[in-house]
Structure formats: C-alpha cells, structure tokens
C-alpha cells in the first residue's frame, strides 16, 4: 500500500504540473453553458492531424464487455478481427469504476479509454485526454446529433472523444425472489422493503448519490431537485440521509461487475442497481434474473472513447475507435453489453431487430430523460446561480463517509 501511494504521488505530481501550466487558477469568467461552467478552459492540447500506419500495439482501458476477445464467450470477439485488420495488438484492461479510469489515464500507460460522464470531464480538465479530430473518426457522422457536444464528451464544442453507446443504470432483480416484478425503485429505498439485507447498490459516489436524488425527485418534489448532479447543501443532505437510511438494508455495495453477477446468481443479493451486461451474464448462467427501468427514471451512462494526452500509439488508438464504432461491431457490442449503440447504423445489423427500439437508441426524448453521469461542480449544472452546489470532492467525501 505504501509503495502504491508512493507511485501515485509521482503520477499525480506529473499530472499536476501539466494542469498547473495549462489552466492556472480558476477564472470564473467564461460562460460555457453545458460543460465546466465557470471554470477555466481545459489545457490546450492538439488533436491528431492524420491517421498514419498503426504502431503495432494499442493499450485499452475499458468497461467490461466493451473489448471482447473471445475469452468470455468464444462467439463474442471483435478484438481479434481488429488485430488482424490493423496489425495493432490490443491489450485490454477492464476497469471497475470511473475513479479507477481517472487514476490510470494521463500517463501514456493507456492509449484509449471508454470514459463515462462522471470521469470524462475531469479527465479533460486534468489534461489527461486530448481532443479528437472528428474528421479522422470515420463513424462520427453516423452518431445522432443529440449525443454530440454534451457535457461528458465536449468542452466549448471541442470534441474530446468518440461516442460509444449509452444506457440506463437499471434495476436487476431475481424473478424467483422478488414478487411481484418491481416497477419502482421503492423496493430498494423504502425502509420497509421486504428485501432488507439482499439489496445491492453500485459503489460509486456520483451514481450512488445521484440515484438517491433521482428517487427524491419523484418522492420529495418539495426539494425541487432539477438535476441529480446539481445538488445544493439541502438537497445533498436529503440524498445522503436517504442513503444512510437505506444502508442497513443493503447487503453489498458492488464495485466489480463479476462480484455483482455472482451475488445475483447465488441469491446473496436479489434486487438493486445493475448494468444490463451483468444481467445478461447471469442469465447466460441460467440464473433467474431480469432487469427493469423503474418508473422514477434512472441515472445513466454515456460512454466515450477518449485518447490519452500522452498516448504512445495514437494511430492505433484512432484505428481502434473507428473499429469499435463500425456499424457491425457496434451491433455486436450493443447486444452483448445491452446498451444503445452510438452509431445508429448498427440498428440494422443486430440479430434481434428490435434491439435499438428496446434500448431507445434513436429516441431523443428517452435519451433526454436519463440522468447521464456528470461530474458535480460548485456552479450548479442546472443553471441555478443563487446557490452553490456541492462539487465532486464533497460527493466523494460524503460517499466515503457513508461507506465507512
């Protein structure tokens, strides 16, 4: 542990130097509506000018299920064809949390990352990732406009990544234990829940607290929460209180998707926050598990492939992003992982022709209802100027305290 801490300091210091040289102190002058409101501009980094020949290797930091090479399931493999086609050997590491991704990026250890909204903006402002040259992204044009220039993938209309796909933080439940089939988050938040002790929650400061806020939006309208990532002190305290009250009923806070899958399969947990892929894997193991998007709405993720600012293999990184967002590959990923593909041309290629409809891939209205992971800031994301919202550091502290 001490050694790790030591290394961390070195990398943190390196990142810090970059940040300090590039962004200086907070100016508070700029008004960038959606991203980094009130903050200085991100460090100015150059996007790649052109894609040359591959460097032979690409290091990928990805969510589970995003870069399958056939080891999980023989038939699920889009990494091997990529390697054959481009000559770039893909070295994939699976990350469990956004914090882990934030921690590991920025040093050139990895070339690309499938960043989610609760870390992408932080990575941009920390200078960990470079802008992308959308002209070099062969599939960028096929991404619906409503997914572009969002506060998790762009700053000042400068794109920092290639949209990959999106989905909701669903609720998983054991069909044999949770009856009737739930349609509300109340089964996990209600103090009288019959599933006390077998409830699971995702161990993430941003999603954890925002999920409580989403539930409060419909159950405590007088709190006037407009955006679950923009909480003033009173709203924040209410969310934390809800989490504290839920804590005795929680069996596990899952951080690793395999642990979450095992817990569902063994019945250790019977209901709670999940990813579709966890449910898919559990069902593949013949576990009686289903998922549902509860009526209160949900948090969601919109993932973006981003290039490390110090990427040693930028050509392969672009080749990877282009490969990963090809219609046929997007179709495979979307069905395997259970998400809406960013490239809607994939919708024609899925084996289940209703897949895109199920996941509302082209449904802008649905998309706008999900609360995609964002990094909380003191200048409220919902545009309020009369109060200060709690920034990410407070969220992570509160979560740490809650979990202790």
Partner 1 sequence: MTALPPAGTSVAPGVPAGRRLSAWLSGRPRVRLAALLAPPAIWLTLVYLAALLALLTTAFFSVDEFTNAVTRTLTLSNVRDVVSDPAYLRASARTVGVAAAVTALCTVIAIPMAFFMAKVAPARSRGLLVALVLTPLWASYLVKVYAWQAMVQPGSGVIAWVLRPLGVDGPGYGLMAVVLTLTYLWLPYMVLPVYAGLERLPDSLVDASADLGAGPWRTFRNVVLPLAYPSIVAGSVFTFSLSLGDYITVQIVGGKAQLLANIVFANYAANLPFAAAIAIIPVLITVAYLAVVRRTGALDNL
Q: In the window 60-99, what residues touch partner 1 (CB under 8 A)?
A: 97, 99
Q: Which helix (H) or strand (E) holds 238?
A: helix 233-246
402 touching partner 1, by CB under 8 A: yes
Within 8 A by CB and 6+ apart from 180, the residues are: none
How would you class 370 by CB atoms within 10 Å of its CB: exposed for 0-12, middle for 13-18, buried for 19 or more? buried
Q: What angle, rounded to 10 degrees, do the helices at 79-86 and 314-324 form?
A: 130
- For 218, other C-beta atoms within 10 Å of its C-beta total 15
- Shortest Å, Cβ 179 to partner 1: 18
User: What are residue 162's DSSP bridge partners?
Assistant: 305
360 touching partner 1, by CB under 8 A: no
Number of residues that bind partner 1 (CB under 8 A): 50
Query: Which residue from 179, 234, 353, 397 is in contact with partner 1, where contact means CB under 8 A?
Result: 397
Measured in residues, the chain has a length of 404
In this complex, which beta carbon is closest to partner 1, that of residue 223 or of residue 402? 402
Distance CA 380, CA 378 (A): 6
Q: In the window 111-130, what residues touch partner 1 (CB under 8 A)?
A: 122, 125-126
Smallest CA-to-CA distance from 37 within 305, 399, 300, 389 is with 389
In this complex, which beta carbon is closest to partner 1, that of residue 25 or of residue 354? 25
Query: Which residue from 9, 224, 241, 284 is in contact with partner 1, where contact means CB under 8 A?
Result: 9
Query: Which residue from 35, 39, 314, 361 is in contact with partner 1, where contact means CB under 8 A?
Result: 39
Query: Which residue from 77, 83, 100, 142 is in contact with partner 1, where contact means CB under 8 A?
Result: 100
Q: Find the DSSP H helices in 147-231.
A: 186-189, 205-219
Distance CA 309, CA 315 (A): 13
47 touching partner 1, by CB under 8 A: no
In this complex, which beta carbon is closest to partner 1, that of residue 112 or of residue 243? 243
**Residue 301 three-state SS:** strand
- Shortest Å, Cβ 192 to partner 1: 19
- Shortest Å, Cβ 226 to partner 1: 20
Within 8 A by CB and 6+ apart from 278, the residues are: 172, 257, 260, 261, 264
- Shortest Å, Cβ 325 to partner 1: 27
- Shortest Å, Cβ 246 to partner 1: 11
CA distances from 136 to 112, 162, 306, 307, 320 (A): 15, 10, 13, 13, 12
Binding site for partner 1 (CB under 8 A): 1-6, 8-9, 12-13, 15-16, 19-20, 36, 39, 97, 99-100, 102-103, 122, 125-126, 203, 205, 247, 250-253, 255, 259, 266-268, 375, 377-378, 391-394, 396-397, 400-404
């Amino acid at each position: 542990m001490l050694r790790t801490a030591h290394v961390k300091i070195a990398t943190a210091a390196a990142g810090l130097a970059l940040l300090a040289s590039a962004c200086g102190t907070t100016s508070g002058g700029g008004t960038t509506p959606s991203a980094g409101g009130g903050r200085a501009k991100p460090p100015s980094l150059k996007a790649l000018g052109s894609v040359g020949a591959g460097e032979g290797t690409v290091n990928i930091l990805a969510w589970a299920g995003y870069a399958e090479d056939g080891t999980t399931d023989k038939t699920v493999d889009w990494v091997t064809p990529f390697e054959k086609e481009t000559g770039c050997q893909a070295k994939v590491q699976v990350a469990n949390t956004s914090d882990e991704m934030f921690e590991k990026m920025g040093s050139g250890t990895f070339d690309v990352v499938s960043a989610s909204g609760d870390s992408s903006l932080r990575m941009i402002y920390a200078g960990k990732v470079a802008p992308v040259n959308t002209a070099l992204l062969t599939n960028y044009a096929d991404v619906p406009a409503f997914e572009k220039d969002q506060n998790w993938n762009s700053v000042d209309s400068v794109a920092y990544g290639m949209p990959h796909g999106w989905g909701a933080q669903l609720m998983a439940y054991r069909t044999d234990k949770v009856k009737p089939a739930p349609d509300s988050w109340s089964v996990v938040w209600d103090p009288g829940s019959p599933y006390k002790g077998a409830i699971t929650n995702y161990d993430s400061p941003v999603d954890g607290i925002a999920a409580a806020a989403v539930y409060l939006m419909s159950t405590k309208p007088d709190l006037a929460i407009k955006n679950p990532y923009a909480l003033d002190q009173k709203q924040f305290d209410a969310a934390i209180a809800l989490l504290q009250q839920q804590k005795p009923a929680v069996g596990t806070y899952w951080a690793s998707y395999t642990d979450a899958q095992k817990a569902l399969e063994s019945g250790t947990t019977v209901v709670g926050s999940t990813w579709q892929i966890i449910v898919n894997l559990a069902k593949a193991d013949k576990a009686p598990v289903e998922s549902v998007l509860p009526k209160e709405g949900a948090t969601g993720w919109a993932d973006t492939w981003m290039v490390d600012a110090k990427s040693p293999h930028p050509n392969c990184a672009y080749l990877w992003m282009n490969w990963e967002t090809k219609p046929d590959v997007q179709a495979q990923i979307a069905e395997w992982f259970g998400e809406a593909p960013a490239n809607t041309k994939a919708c024609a290629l899925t084996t289940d022709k209703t897949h895109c409809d199920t996941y509302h891939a082209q449904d802008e209205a649905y998309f706008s209802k999900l609360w995609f992971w964002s990094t909380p800031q003191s200048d409220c994301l919902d545009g309020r100027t009369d109060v200060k919202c709690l920034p990410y550091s407070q969220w992570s502290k509160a979560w740490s305290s809650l979990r202790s």
